[in-house]
A and B are shown apart, each in its own frame.
Chain A
Amino acid sequence: MKYAYHLIVAYLTLHVGWYILREKSFWKQAGAGLVLILFVLRLLLIQ
């Protein structure tokens, strides 16, 4: 279950990263960056 949870969070993290790469508007990239911080913290630090 723990691995399934991490896989889901990893998938969503990659998607947000992918969105930042494709997006042209700086402010949309910045907004997604804020979301990405939460996903990265959750992916790496939540036990």
Chain B
Amino acid sequence: MNKKRRRFHFSPMIDGSSFFIFGMVAAVSFFAGRDFVAQRAEEAIMPGPGLTSMRQLSDYFPPLRGTAGDTGIFVFEGAEAGGNVLILGGAHPNEPAGYVSAILLIENVRLARGRLFVVPRANASGFTHGDPQEGAPQRFGIETPQGTRFFRLGSRVTNSIHQWPDPTLYITPTGQKLAGIEARNLNRAYPGLPRGSLTERVAHAVMELIRKERIDLGIDLHESAPEYPVINAIVFHENSSDLAALAQMALQGEGYEFRLEASPQNLRGLSHREWGDAAGIKAVLIETPNASHGRIKGRPSASLVVDGRDPYYVKAAGLGRLFVPFGPEGIPLRHRVARHLAGVEAVLGALSELEPEKAVGLEGLPSAADVEAQGLGAFLRPPRL
């Protein structure tokens, strides 16, 4: 009987060292937890006077409401009737030029004609974490005249705490077999599934937005690693070949070289394929070169994201291993965003030339030359201090 009592006897040793350890646990948990939770916070986007309304992706697919996949849509409407255009940034949250370009549009443009829908954080869940084992910074800063504005650098894929586990093989809604991690890649999940995974439901919601708003043209803003062949390119659905070719000519006139890449018919799940196939809209994807998510880079840092300088890429360029020129000056974010803005302007110009009734009259868009010369901070609103 006594033995049993001893076995369950409550005799903790509450001494100074226990208190010290618990205190340290509380302090470390607090500071580490604060950093961890900060990843989930969305930084403020401050729309310019051109914004006419705000919507949520879940307005087009209500089951998405309250989930990590729901995200904001910034709507600009012109006084005159015209075309409807969708611009997606942040489908891959580790490709910051697409995200920052979308924000620059939101904070600057007005519409004289047509309607423009901008989704800056297309994969909102992807912004709440980073790619594992990459050591990537959580955020990067852009200097504005009134101070530094910080932006999240996320992961290419949906957060695994929102969608888990990954299958061994991912079969896209259109039957393409891919590696399991691609199950969380928004740009492999189109046209989505209403009862699929979170990523597939987000893709379905984007398709619902396209169908319900009668979108005529979709532009998906991305970046790729300098060693990846599809780079500095406009990838187009075959129904948009004229549009892409016209845009390319206009861009060449401005001094921007863009390759034209036809969307392969047997590469399924991507925006430039499925937006065209499933919804019949014109679809293009624009790629700029980003050293910060390439495989050859050295130490990842916020400065690599913003300044785009990396000695290992310079060496790789010297060995002829890259698909873009890469000098010691690097490829800074302001140049990549300028390319995106020039690309958007050229594609919209081509649309108005080919189908004048679907023209979108965009005003206030910073010119690529101004962005290159004055930097991004000159066109971003001041940070909220």
Beyond A44-B33, A45-B33, A47-B161, whether A21 also contacts B25 by CB under 8 A is: no
Confirm or deny: B162 has a beta carbon within 8 angstroms of a beta carbon on chain A. Answer: yes
Partner of A22 from the list B12, B161, B162 (CB cut-off 8 Å) is B12
Beyond A40-B29, A41-B33, A46-B161, whether A21 also contacts B17 by CB under 8 A is: no
Q: Is the CB of A22 within 8 A of B24?
A: no
Q: Give chain A interface residues in 17-47, CB to chain B under 8 Å.
A: 17-18, 20-24, 26, 29-30, 32-33, 36-37, 40-41, 44-47
A15 smallest CB distance to B (angstroms): 13
Q: Is the CB of B21 within 8 A of A20?
A: yes
Beyond A20-B18, A22-B12, whether A41 also contacts B25 by CB under 8 A is: no
Confirm or deny: B150 has a beta carbon within 8 angstroms of a beta carbon on chain A. Answer: no
Q: Is the CB of B32 within 8 A of A47?
A: no
Beyond A44-B33, A45-B36, whether A37 also contacts B17 by CB under 8 A is: no
Bound: A2/B272 CA distance, A: 37
Q: Is the CB of B18 within 8 A of A41?
A: no
Summarize B's interface: helix, strand, loop or mixed. helix
B98 smallest CB distance to A (angstroms): 26
With both beta carbons as reference points, the residue of chain B lying nearest to A17 in the complex is identified as B22
Bound: A37/B35 CA distance, A: 14
Total A-B Cβ pairs within 8 A: 44
Contact with A along B245-261 (1 / 0, CB 8 A): 00000000000000000
Q: Is the CB of B162 within 8 A of A47?
A: yes
Residues of B within 8 A of A41 (CB): 29, 32-33, 36
A34 smallest CB distance to B (angstroms): 8
Residues of A within 8 A of B162 (CB): 47
Confirm or deny: B1 has a beta carbon within 8 angstroms of a beta carbon on chain A. Answer: no
The 4 closest A-B pairs by CB, nearest first: A21-B12, A33-B21, A40-B29, A29-B21
Sampled A-B contacts (14; CB under 8 Å)? A20-B22, A21-B13, A21-B14, A22-B12, A24-B13, A26-B17, A30-B21, A33-B25, A37-B28, A40-B25, A40-B29, A41-B32, A44-B33, A47-B68
